[in-house]
A and B are shown apart, each in its own frame.
Chain A
């Protein structure tokens, strides 16, 4: 089945620094990928839709300059948290859909636990 690889699985950074998270579709091409944020014991909140070769579409309330998304190829999307602050600490998850597969669901990465100190 479709596999989405997310890296790193966890990262600790200092306040004010930037962190990049990668999301790769390993065995299929993904023109669209999605980035979510999740707080403990809560559901996934869609942050933005990453579009290959064009600008990402951000959900209302998500700062574009804070969360930079780049989707430079059909298998890679990156999320960069710029000038990170402790309130940015969270679990970030990406997903993609394999339209060539038999199911309708999305495949998720294993998530990245970001801690800003």
Chain B
């Protein structure tokens, strides 16, 4: 059973469109992280959310942590081709980082 479920798994959109990626769990996490990974590279940390209800913004990216700390979302405004990549959510579970299945985003020019 996957502890963290991400949706959608694949997303292909045109440049300028908005999108939201979801990360859901039945478990409570003390924190959740979002990473972006490009082909052939390791994941790079985008943000960590810690407080229930927290909203963090990173330029065109907005991250939310659910009030119950069981889910999170990533919203990208006016997507650009440079946003293309694999987006992963992760949370600490039993002292190690557990990852969602990932969302492969393709932004077409």
Is A60 interfacial (CB 8 A cutoff)?
no
Chain A residues with CB under 8 A of B59: none
Q: Mark B68-109, 1 if CB is under 8 A from A, else 0.
A: 000000000000000000101010100111111110100000
| Interface SS of chain A | strand
Interface size of B by CB at 8 A reads 24
Which of A4, A108, A110: most chain B CB closer than 10 A?
A108
Cα of A109 to Cα of B37 in the assembled complex, Å: 11
What is the distance, in angstroms, from A98's C-beta to the closest C-beta of chain B? 11
Give residues of chain A (82-117) contacting chain B, Cβ–Cβ below 8 Å.
91, 93, 95, 103-111, 113
Residue of B nearest to A41 (CB): B104
* Contact with B40, one of A41, A104, A105, A113 (Cβ below 8 angstroms): A113
Cα of A113 to Cα of B31 in the assembled complex, Å: 30
Residue of A nearest to B10 (CB): A41
Residue of A nearest to B89 (CB): A43
Q: A34-B96, A34-B97 given as contacts; is B42 within 8 A of A111 (CB)?
A: yes
Is B28 interfacial (CB 8 A cutoff)?
no
Chain A residues with CB under 8 A of B48: 103-105
What is the distance, in angstroms, from A97's C-beta to the closest C-beta of chain B? 8
